[in-house]
Amino acid sequence: MRIRLKIWRQENQQDPGKMVNYTLEDINPHMSFLEMLDTLNEQLLQDGTRPVEFDHDCREGICGQCGVMINGRAHGPLANTTTCQLHMRTFTDNEEIVIEPFRATAFPVKCDLKIDRTAFDRVIQSGGFISVNTGQAPEANDMAIGSPTAEAAFDAAACIGCGACVAVCKNSSAALFTSAKISHLVLLPQGKIEAQERVRKMVDQMDKEGFGHCSNTEACEAECPQQISVLHIARMNYEYNKAQVLKK
């Protein structure tokens, strides 16, 4: 395959950045998208040019680090697929592919396609945990949890924190991410003790980070590689309003 690339290049946060064109010949259609970028970087290094920086880690659709905008869509054209799990056979010969970082005020661009996602870390650090005594794991059967509740909690916990929900939201809202982190804890008995304090702290931190408000366009769910439901946002709003009432 012959592939024409238009990639965002930005050396640092102060650099205004620009789109740069590249062409790759003889790309194997069975390559993953990140392997294609590796091939480009090998070519750039041979030419004595700075390679394109992009985030990645597991390359198994688990860690959420690889996310970029591909032809205007978070993670690319396939539904429920991370960038690292996207393959070049999805594209056509001589197609132009536009690659940009996720765009949001709370996700400043560090270099090229690399963004700073530490805002997500601070949201979790504000309350996304439970306080328990450490030591030997408790007997699993001591705390019976119904299958529907357990499955709902696991569905919320499946969020990988890639940031696609923020990138596709017209308001750059982190409501889907934050609600998933709140939801998977509040559904379980271990998370109910600190539920009110947790939801207040996490929602307040989300606002402090500069994320926008949710306006229910549901673009976040449509582009989420893990199919996290917007119903978690409804649960977060309910828990937050309840916590504010009980606080008074």
Burial classification of residue 90, based on how many CB atoms lie within 10 Å of its CB (0-12 exposed, 13-18 middle, 19 or more buried):
middle
**Each residue's pLDDT expressed in tens, for the chain with a length of 248 residues:** 999 999 999 999 999 999 999 999 999 999 999 999 999 999 999 999 999 999 999 999 999 999 999 999 999 999 999 999 999 999 999 999 999 999 999 999 999 999 999 999 999 999 999 887 777 776 767 778 888 999 999 999 999 999 999 999 999 999 999 999 999 999 998 899 999 999 999 999 999 999 999 999 999 999 999 999 999 999 999 999 999 998 76
Range of the domain at 20: 3-111
Global pTM reads 0.93
Asked which of 111, 130, 147 is the last residue of a domain, the reply is 111
Q: How many domains does the chain have?
A: 2
Say whether 109 sits in a helix, a strand or coil.
strand
Closest CA to 56 of 84, 97, 30, 87: 84
Asked which of 89, 111, 133 is the last residue of a domain, the reply is 111
Task: Please write the tens of the pLDDT for every residue from 31-67.
Answer: 999 999 999 999 999 999 999 999 999 999 999 999 9
Which pLDDT score is estimated for 132? 76
> Residue 17 sits in a domain of what CATH number?
3.10.20.30
> Residue 146 sits in a domain of what CATH number?
1.10.1060.10
Q: Do 139 and 181 belong to one domain?
A: yes
Contacts of 128 (CB under 8 A, 6+ apart): 181, 182, 185, 198, 202
Q: Do 132 and 231 belong to one domain?
A: yes
Cα(115)–Cα(74) distance, rounded to whole angstroms?
A: 14
Q: Please report the sign of the dihedral spanned by the C-alpha atoms of residue 104, residue 241, residue 127, residue 177.
A: negative
